[in-house]
Amino acid sequence: MSDDICTMSLSAVAKAIAFGELSSAETTEACIKRIQMHGDKIDAICEIDLEAARANAQVADDKLANGVRSGPLHGVPLAHKDMFYRSGRVSGCGSKIRATFVPDVTATVLERLDQSGALDIARLNMVEFAFGVTGHNEVMPTPKNPWNVAHITGGSSSGPGAAVAARMVFGSLGSDTGGSIRFPACCNGLVGLKPTWGRVSRYGAMPLSPSLDTIGPLTRTAEDAALIFGVIAGNDPLDPTSSQLNVPSYNNALSKGIKGLRIGVPENYFFDLVETEIADLVEASLDVLVDSGAELVPITIPASLEATNALTSLIISTEAASIHQAWLQKRPEDYGSQTRARMNSGLTTAATRYVQARNLRAPLLADFAEAVFDKVDLLHCPVMNTAVPTIKETDLLANPGFAEIIGQMGHCTRPINYLGLPSLTIPCGFTANGLPSAFQLVARPFDEATMIRVGHAYQNATDWHTRAPTL
């Protein structure tokens, strides 16, 4: 019974708790049991406070017994990347530098999840300061992929990817600056929602590169992502960069179907570096969308997109270096060597080049919008170029030759951050090595609802999201 609960979707569990078919206490206990059984193998959990988790679940059940349902996530156990501050609780950011840091504020995203009734049962491991795409962490545990523990989880939201895929929790918040939600979603067979820049408040979240940082959910279904996203999206006076645009009902979008939606298929750029087996899986997913009523439209991607991967790297390394400079100079040995190198490379960026890299975002977004969104509702493209590699072969300390391939991993993801656009990663099958793969949908700014709608239609017609790794 315990494992049966854990394999339910977040939406199904939330409904079961709301209707009294399950208690929050038994649901939380099922998650705890699974974490205790498989936690050491997967290394996704940084810390779990069992006493608090059980007590909070009991509070949720008591409230419900008294007719009080806090919100749509009432009593559902979640856990998040260890970079969202909760006042009075350590937030280590996957680092030695902040291993004992206790914030005195709580992130707005956690406040909103609390208000919706969700339980926050654990802190999840992550790439050091969220700066890395494979999931490796030289100074803290590196999570393992539940589909095959010899393989990477993808990063930097490595713990969220592994924990949700391993059915330890029903959903998790990650962050995405260059692909850090989408890589773990792709590698672990999950849905990952990277929102439009400014759609979700970043108050109380560790910054990596504020011009690019976004926060979003990793879940097993698009419907689950809609549930969490509806709670965390929207303006926050504590984060003046958060948009004041209305937040639509993402749940309502689920029932609309996709008949007549125009989906763009890139003729250039996005498939330039993609291996054949990935291209085959991504292209096969288009057939499902056509069968569900979508119309495919070939799209020529503007040549200016070629520059965006390098421009993104410059912005990330420069902003990260500006944040970390004092520690980089005083405590260099406390950083992992890869993180330190990535940050150090930003210390010497000329200020004019940094400003120019930021200012080019508007004209390059205009190019992309004209080429894509004047013709279609969404763009459909790969997330990763290759099958999920092993931890060993991507360990740059032992295998420095892999650096170039890691550099290319962001080919399909970083341009989306540079342009500030939303993207939804949807699992679409398995490669020959038995690991999941995925495609991503890219929408016009603030149109997450249409991505969710298409993702839900795809999952209604397929069963990839129902398959669970055997631990």
Q: Which residues pair with 123 in a beta bridge?
A: 47, 80
Other residues' Cβ atoms within 10 Å of the Cβ of residue 283: 15
The catalytic residue among 180, 201, 211, 317 is 180
d(CA 377, CA 422) in angstroms, rounded, equals: 12
**Counting Cβ atoms within 10 Å, is residue 401 exposed (0-12), middle (13-18) or buried (19+)?**
exposed
Helices (H) and strands (E) in the chain, counts: 17, 11
The catalytic residue among 9, 11, 23, 81 is 81
Considering only CA atoms, which of 265, 268, 272 is closest in space to residue 290? Answer: 265
Q: Which is nearer to other proteins, 50 or 405 (CB)?
A: 405
d(CA 175, CA 80) in angstroms, rounded, equals: 10
Q: Which is nearer to other proteins, 181 or 311 (CB)?
A: 311
Task: Tell me if 403 contacts other proteins by CB under 8 A.
Answer: no
Give the nearest distance from C-beta 365 to other proteins in angstroms: 6
Contact characters 221-260, other proteins, x per CB under 8 A: --------------------x-x-xxxx------------
**Contact 230/427 with Cβ under 8 angstroms?**
no
Q: Which is nearer to other proteins, 9 or 344 (CB)?
A: 344
Of 159-218, binders to other proteins (CB under 8 A) are 196-198, 211
d(CA 2, CA 401) in angstroms, rounded, equals: 44
Alpha helices in 214-307 (DSSP H): 222-232, 250-254, 276-291
Q: DSSP readout, 183-232?
A: HHHHHHT-EEEEPPTTSB--TTB--S-TTT-EEEEEESSHHHHHHHHHHH
Q: Which is nearer to other proteins, 141 or 248 (CB)?
A: 248
Candidates 7, 356, 399, 466; binder of other proteins (CB under 8 A) is 356
Contact characters 412-451, other proteins, x per CB under 8 A: --------x-----------------------xxxx-x--
Task: Tell me if 396 contacts other proteins by CB under 8 A.
Answer: no
CB burial readout 286-299, b (16+ within 10 A) else e: bebbeebebeeeeb
Stretch that binds other proteins, among 21-29, 148-156, 261-269, 362-370 (CB under 8 A): 362-370
Q: Which is nearer to other proteins, 373 or 464 (CB)?
A: 373
Considering only CA atoms, which of 228, 255, 256 is closest in space to residue 11? Answer: 228
Q: Which residues pair with 192 in a beta bridge?
A: 218, 425
Q: Which is nearer to other proteins, 79 or 321 (CB)?
A: 321
Task: Tell me if 132 contacts other proteins by CB under 8 A.
Answer: no
Please say if 81 is a catalytic residue. yes
Task: Tell me if 397 contacts other proteins by CB under 8 A.
Answer: no
The catalytic residue among 24, 116, 156, 242 is 156
- Residues designated as active site: 81, 156, 180
State the residues that interact with other proteins by CB under 8 A.
196-198, 211, 241, 243, 245-248, 304, 307, 310-311, 313-314, 317, 329, 341, 344-345, 347-349, 353, 356-366, 369, 373, 420, 444-447, 449
